[in-house]
C-alpha cells in the first residue's frame, strides 16, 4: 500500500474530540516529555564534563557514528555515558561500515562498554563503504541477539526520504516489524525531525495500515536559530518541513531569533492523548543548537518547569536555576 506524504495523503489538522483544559494538556505534554531521548556526537561528548549534571539518570543518549568519527571514539563515549548512569545507544549505520569486522567491533565494543540498546539504520552515504547496504542486512546477522541486546531502534521518515521510494520505506518497516516479532527483541521507531505536526500524525496513523505496530519516538529539533534549522532541514532532506519552516518561521521565532519545538510538541501531545491507538510515546531531540542547550530545555520540560500559553498553542520553559 502506498503511503507517506509524497504519495499525497491528506494532512488534516488535529481537532480535539472534546474540550481540552490546561491541566489535561500539561499532563499530555509531560507524558511525552518525561521519556525523552537525545543525540550526541563523540566530539560533542568530549566537551561534556558531567552528563549527570545535564540529564536525568537513565536518559537514553544516542551516540552518532558518522564519517569522520572512529569506532573507538563511539565506544569511549558509550563507556562514559554508562558510567554516568545514562542509557547509551550507539548508531550502527550500515553504509558507513567498511567491513564486517568494523560492524562487530562497534556492536561488541559498545555492548562491553555498557550499551544494551542500539539504533540500526542504513546511513546517508550514497555508496556503501563496505558489505552492508541496509539496516535489515545488520539485523539479519544475528549479532544483536547473540550478544543480548535488549532493545533496538530503527528510522522512520514521516516526510519520506530523498533517496528511497515510499513503497520501499513501507516494506522495510514491515520487515523490521516482522523481525521484532520473530526474534522477540523489542523494536522502536525514531523519526527524522520535522516541524509539521499534521504530517507526523498522518504518517503515524498510516503505520497500522501496513501492519506496523511499533512504538514511535518523534524526532524534534531542540532550541536553535532559524538559520540553523533551515541548514539542517536542507542537509537532511526534510523537504516538506523545510518549506513549512520557511513559510511559518516568523510565527516560530522566539527571543534572539531562536525557535523552540513547544508548539509541535503540544499539537502531537494533544493528538496522542485524545486519539486511541496512537503509537507515539516519547520525544527524541536533535541538538542542532548545541547539546547543553537542548539537554537543559528537554530536562526542564520533562520536569514540568514550563508555562502553557493562554491559548494552548505552545509553552515557555523556565530559565535554569
Q: pLDDT of 191-203, one tens digit each?
A: 998 888 999 999 9
Angle at 76 between CA 126 and CA 224, to 5 degrees: 60
pTM of the shown model: 0.88
Range in 106-115, 214-223, 238-247, 280-289 the model is least confident about: 238-247
**223-254 per-position pLDDT tens digit:** 987 666 666 556 555 554 545 554 444 444 44
CA distance 88 to 86: 6
Q: Tell which wins on pLDDT, 83 or 318.
A: 83
Rounded mean pLDDT, 100-129 = 95
Angle at 207 between CA 10 and CA 192, to 5 degrees: 80
- Kind plus residue range of the DSSP H or E element containing 258: strand 258-259
Mean confidence (pLDDT) of the chain: 87
CA distance 53 to 50: 6
Per-residue model confidence (pLDDT) at position 164: 77
Q: Tell which wins on pLDDT, 166 or 105.
A: 105
Q: Where are the domains of the chain?
A: 15-303
All three cell numbers of 178, joined, read: 516482522
Roughly what angle, to the nearest 10 degrees, separates helices 22-33 and 291-302? 130
230-257 residues labelled b (16+ CB within 10 A) or e (exposed): eebbeebbbebbbebbeeebeebeeeee
Q: Tell which wins on pLDDT, 141 or 257.
A: 141
Per-residue model confidence (pLDDT) at position 21: 79
All three cell numbers of 162, joined, read: 530523498
Per-residue model confidence (pLDDT) at position 67: 80
> Is pLDDT at 61 greater than 60 in this prediction?
yes
Q: How many CA atoms lie within 13 A of 35 on its CB side?
A: 17
Rounded mean pLDDT, 95-122 = 98
CA distance 198 to 212: 20
> Is pLDDT at 70 greater than 60 in this prediction?
yes
Q: Which of 290, 298, 272, 281 is nearest to 17 (CA)?
A: 272
Range in 79-93, 214-228, 285-299 the model is least confident about: 214-228
CA-to-CA dists, residue 203 to 13, 64, 79, 155, angstroms: 13, 25, 36, 13
Q: Which architecture, in CATH terms, is 15-303?
A: Alpha-Beta Barrel (3.20)
Amino acid at each position: 500500500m502506498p503511503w507517506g506524504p509524497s504519495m499525497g495523503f491528506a494532512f488534516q489538522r488535529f481537532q480535539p474530540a472534546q474540550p481540552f483544559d490546561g491541566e489535561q494538556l500539561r499532563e499530555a505534554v509531560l507524558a511525552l516529555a518525561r521519556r525523552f531521548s537525545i543525540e550526541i556526537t563523540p566530539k560533542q561528548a568530549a566537551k561534556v564534563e558531567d552528563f549527570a549534571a545535564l540529564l536525568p539518570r537513565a536518559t537514553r543518549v544516542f551516540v552518532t557514528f558518522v564519517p569522520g568519527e572512529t569506532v573507538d571514539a563511539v565506544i569511549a563515549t558509550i563507556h562514559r555515558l554508562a558510567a554516568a548512569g545514562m542509557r547509551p545507544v550507539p548508531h550502527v549505520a550500515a553504509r558507513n561500515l567498511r567491513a564486517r569486522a568494523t560492524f562487530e567491533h562497534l556492536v561488541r565494543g559498545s555492548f562491553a562498554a555498557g550499551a544494551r540498546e542500539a539504533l540500526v539504520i542504513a546511513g546517508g552515504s550514497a555508496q556503501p563503504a563496505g558489505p552492508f547496504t541496509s539496516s535489515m542486512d545488520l539485523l539479519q546477522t544475528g549479532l544483536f541477539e547473540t550478544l543480548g541486546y535488549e532493545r533496538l531502534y530503527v528510522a522512520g521518515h514521516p516526510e519520506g526520504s530523498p533517496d528511497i521510494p515510499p513503497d520501499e520505506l513501507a516494506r522495510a518497516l514491515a520487515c523490521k516489524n516482522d523481525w521484532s516479532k520473530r526474534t522477540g527483541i523489542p523494536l522502536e521507531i525514531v523519526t527524522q525531525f520535522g516541524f509539521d505536526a499534521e504530517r507526523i500524525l498522518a504518517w503515524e496513523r498510516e503505520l497500522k495500515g501496513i501492519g506496523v505496530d511499533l512504538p514511535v519516538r518523534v524526532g524534534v529539533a531542540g532550541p536553535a536559530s532559524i538559520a540553523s534549522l533551515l541548514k539542517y532541514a536542507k542537509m537532511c532532506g526534510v523537504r516538506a518541513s523545510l518549506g513549512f519552516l520557511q513559510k511559518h518561521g516568523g510565527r516560530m521565532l522566539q527571543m534572539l531569533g531562536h525557535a523552540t519545538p513547544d508548539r509541535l510538541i503540544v499539537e502531537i501531545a494533544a493528538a496522542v492523548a485524545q486519539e486511541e491507538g496512537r503509537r507515539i510515546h516519547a520525544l527524541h531531540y536533535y541538538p542542532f543548537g548545541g547539546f547543553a542547550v537542548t539537554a537543559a530545555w528537554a530536562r526542564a520540560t520533562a520536569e514540568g518547569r514550563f508555562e502553557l500559553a493562554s491559548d494552548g498553542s505552545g509553552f515557555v520553559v523556565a530559565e535554569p536555576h
